[in-house]
Chains A and B, each alone.
Chain A
Amino acid sequence: MLINVSFVCNKVHAQNLTLSVQSSSLNFDYSKESDFETSRTIQKAFKLTVSSRNRGIFIYGRIQPSANVLMSSVPQNPFGVKVNYSPVTISSSYFQPRNLTFSDITVLAYNSRITRPIAFDFDLILNPIGYTIAPENYDYSIIFTITEQ
């Protein structure tokens, strides 16, 4: 009977933390001089809907190139993100661009419980990639992770 209690406990934690990501189409051309040399901002590229009934949250972001390419040959930091809209008060630093790398970086933290789902809008920043990257299609996964604080 005590073992049963333990399983219920884990299930409650899983239900209490939710993450849903909606995004616009994320296909981007680099064809003009300005594409290679200046950053572009895609307004509200992501909508992250989250809830966390027990604790505050961290949201992390990272990128992962598709498996069929050499890591050394892909643009290393092509993307950044920043919060565009928050329905709750968060640190102003999250409204500033943060570059996504191959390791998780914190893109948002909120210190209170979120009992009902709320949605954060994120901008996507396309960093200039310069001219050292060979012409090619480069596929990535942008991975968002939510954890409890």
Chain B
Amino acid sequence: MKKIFILITVFSTFLNGRLSYGQGISQPVSARLSVKSFISMKINKSQNIDFKFNSTEQMEQGITKPNAFNVEIKTNQNWNLSVSSLTPNFLALGPDSQTLLPSSILGLRKSNTSSFISVAQNPVSLATGGRGSSTNGQNQFNLDLKATPGLNFDGGSFTLVVIFTVSPQ
């Protein structure tokens, strides 16, 4: 009876030792990622965007430059793209260009949308989107440009600085 008791105890000890082989020691280390707000934008001009008006029809109906700009946005925030002009009117170039041609004769729209948005000195929203890289379809698109001077202004050469601003929503 005494011998049987010893055998069982020894076996138990052996198992105890074997099980401990699988046990480990762990040690943690703290790490922090500080992800900052980030927005970048590239605008490429895809073509010559000079407008030449040679007929009353062109001046009344306007001239459209489809896909005049390609916009790429990379951001980790929802964004808003707005457009504005540096000055309320075009800058007249040369002695024959006396007219104050307003910036509102210029319009922009996201390609494949319907209505043009007039350019003004106050920023006007042109497009919105969400976080993601420029491979996200929402963050890469084209803009159509249209100029419609009408018949109320004298002829001449004019230039305008257009400002695109992307900001977090």
List A residues at the B interface (Cβ < 8 Å): 2-3, 5-6, 9-10, 13-14, 17-21, 23, 26-33, 36, 46, 55, 60, 64, 75, 78-79, 126, 129-148
Contacts and interface: CB of A to CB of B under 8 A. Distances in A.
Interface string B51-79: 00000000000000000000000111100
B27 A19 contact: yes
A27 B33 CA distance: 6
B29 interface: yes
A137 B34 contact: yes
B10 A142 contact: no
Given A17-B24, A145-B24, A131 B31 contact: no
A144 B29 contact: yes
Contact of B38 (A28, A31, A46): A31
Contacts, number: 140
A9 B19 CA distance: 11
Given A131-B75, A131-B76, A26 B35 contact: no
A10 B28 contact: no
Contacts of A140: 30-33
A28 B16 contact: no
Nearest to B25: A19
Kindly name the residue among B17, B25, B31 whose own CB sees the greatest number of chain A CB atoms within 10 A: B31
Interface residues of B, number: 34
Interface in B2-19: 6, 9-10, 12-13, 16-17
B129 to A, nearest CB: 11
B169 interface: no
A94 to B, nearest CB: 18
Interface in B80-122: none
Nearest to B8: A2
A33 B21 contact: no
Contacts of B9: 2-3
Contact of B16 (A9, A23, A29, A60): A9
Contacts of A131: 38, 74-76, 131-133
Contacts of B26: 19, 143-146
A142 B32 CA distance: 10
A134 B24 CA distance: 36
A135 B28 contact: no
Contacts of B22: 147-148
7 contacts: A2-B6, A3-B9, A13-B17, A31-B38, A134-B35, A142-B29, A145-B25
